[in-house]
Chains A and B, each alone.
Chain A
């Protein structure tokens, strides 16, 4: 069964520090992985997807099939990065997503 694990419920860093939000998945096929973000009082929105290999708002995520991971990284965290982050996996190429339980990131001044 497809599963997405985000081991940290809460993550707190200081402004300017590097940040890494962990995501591991289990899936037997070829995965499509995503990071979604929800800022305070805003709707959930797509941050990035692995297939586009983009950097969005300074964040990057690399798919590591050997470690079945898709960690989200940013070298220098900003206060405006404080939000809830969800890792998600597409099920069998369909448009249904399996979401992890989320990591709440707090960037302190």
Chain B
């Protein structure tokens, strides 16, 4: 059973703080993704990674960066948090090789005040 875990369920940060969101998967998956989920806007891809140290921008990368130093861990970094980054953040992974099912984590609800 694939397990994708995220470091926090709820997080409150102040404007301007540097924020780290961590995601870990335990199934040796190749690909990992970060989305934000907003009511009325659906899921929007921020970044994804197809291998260790490899990353590609998604549809809304501005204000975010990522890090993948180990295969199982994919971190999303908000360099200087702003109120418009208040959102639900979802991490997902896929095994690669044409397997399209994305396995999602439980989400981190981030509030920036």
> A residues touching B (Cβ–Cβ < 8 Å)?
6, 9, 32, 34, 36, 43-46, 49, 86, 90, 93, 95-102
Are B96 and A95 in contact (CB-based, < 8 A)? yes
Are A43 and B104 in contact (CB-based, < 8 A)? yes
Measured between beta carbons, the chain B residues less than 8 angstroms from A100 are 42
Q: Does B100 contact A (CB under 8 A)?
A: yes
Q: Does B48 contact A (CB under 8 A)?
A: yes
Main secondary structure of the interface of B (DSSP, over half): strand
Bound-state CA distance A99–B42 (Å) is: 7
Name the distance in Å between A68's Cβ and chain B's nearest Cβ: 18
> B residues touching A (Cβ–Cβ < 8 Å)?
4, 31, 33, 35, 40-45, 48, 50, 58, 90, 92, 94, 96, 98-102, 104-107
Are A32 and B104 in contact (CB-based, < 8 A)? no
Bound-state CA distance A45–B42 (Å) is: 14
Are B42 and A43 in contact (CB-based, < 8 A)? no
Measured between beta carbons, the chain B residues less than 8 angstroms from A97 are 45, 100, 102
Please tell me which one of the listed residues B40, B43, B44, B101 contacts residue A9 in the complex, with CB atoms under 8 A apart: B40
Bound-state CA distance A6–B43 (Å) is: 13
Are B100 and A32 in contact (CB-based, < 8 A)? yes
Are B43 and A43 in contact (CB-based, < 8 A)? no
Some 29 contacts from A to B, beta carbons below 8 A apart, are A9-B40, A34-B100, A43-B4, A43-B105, A43-B107, A44-B43, A44-B90, A44-B92, A44-B104, A45-B104, A46-B102, A86-B42, A86-B43, A90-B100, A93-B98, A95-B31, A95-B94, A95-B99, A95-B100, A95-B102, A96-B33, A96-B45, A96-B48, A97-B100, A99-B42, A99-B43, A101-B41, A101-B42, A102-B43
Measured between beta carbons, the chain B residues less than 8 angstroms from A102 are 42-43
